[in-house]
Amino acid sequence: VRYKITIEYQGTNFYGWQRQDNLPTIQGEIELALKKLTKQNIEIFASGRTDAGVHALGQVAHFDTKETQPQNSKKLAYSLNFFLRDKPITIIDCQQVDENFHSRFHALQRHYKYQIINRDAPIAVGADLYWRVYGSIDYKLMQNACELFIGQHDFSSFRDAQCQGKNPIRIITKLNLKKDGDCIEVNISAKSFLHHMVRNIVGTLVLLGKGTISIDDLRNIIAAKDRRKSGPNAPAHGLFFVGVDY
């Protein structure tokens, strides 16, 4: 029986999603909880891996159990949360799904947000959930620049050197900024992203906002298709995997 789970986690103290020997990871913790619950070795498959320190509000994964009859999926979520109770990992939804459902291959859109606090003072409340950017930022300029990224582009300038994607072309369907006091929230959606693409885009937008680069420079960076041209990777702890559409 196949189940689809939606997962919230705070990535701060984990080495990312992917299971690693002797290191705490999100996948590792959930598989451990499944083992405690079912006494089976069950592998889970995520819609996309997240890096160390990155959070999720709606990561999706699927797994199969060896039963022939489906169990109450609400109770399954409750039981998994019992075994995860000491970890900042929560199953927020669990559904029994068709055996052909695949969390990664059937994803139509992935949604991320990135949280920035723009002020000089360090962050005391929720410091692991925001990137603090000091100095003045031209928010309007950053907002106007979003349209340069939207649509289908070769995002080679915004992929990590380690990125294993064969094709650097991606389609950004949404990229916008919201401001609330000194908090800036970047929202971005696409069917899929290259490795570090969101954090590279945010890092480059902040360079623009700080006046380090101009909007013409940004156009050239996108056109260059060369990672060495773009801004520094924004830190992991401001990034949230918000959800997946199927």
Catalytic residues: 51
Judge whether 132 and 125 are in contact, CB under 8 Å: no
Is the Cβ of residue 129 or residue 150 nearer to its own copies in the bound state? 129
Q: At its nearest, how many Å lie between its own copies and the CB of residue 115?
A: 11
The Cα 145–Cα 208 span in angstroms is: 9
The Cα 150–Cα 201 span in angstroms is: 12
Is the Cβ of residue 128 or residue 154 nearer to its own copies in the bound state? 128
| 66: CB partners within 8 A, 6+ apart | 38, 40
Q: At its nearest, how many Å lie between its own copies and the CB of residue 230?
A: 28
Q: At its nearest, how many Å lie between its own copies and the CB of residue 109?
A: 19
Is the Cβ of residue 121 or residue 161 nearer to its own copies in the bound state? 121
The Cα 149–Cα 242 span in angstroms is: 20
Which residue reads 């002020």 in tokens? 119
Is the Cβ of residue 13 or residue 40 nearer to its own copies in the bound state? 13
Write out the residues near its own copies by the rule CB under 8 A. Answer: 8-10, 55, 57, 77-78, 81, 85, 87-93, 119-127, 129, 240
- Which residues are registered as beta bridge partners of 175? 188
The Cα 245–Cα 107 span in angstroms is: 6
Cβ of 77: how many Cβ atoms within 10 Å?
A: 20
Q: At its nearest, how many Å lie between its own copies and the CB of residue 39?
A: 24
3-class DSSP state of 94: strand
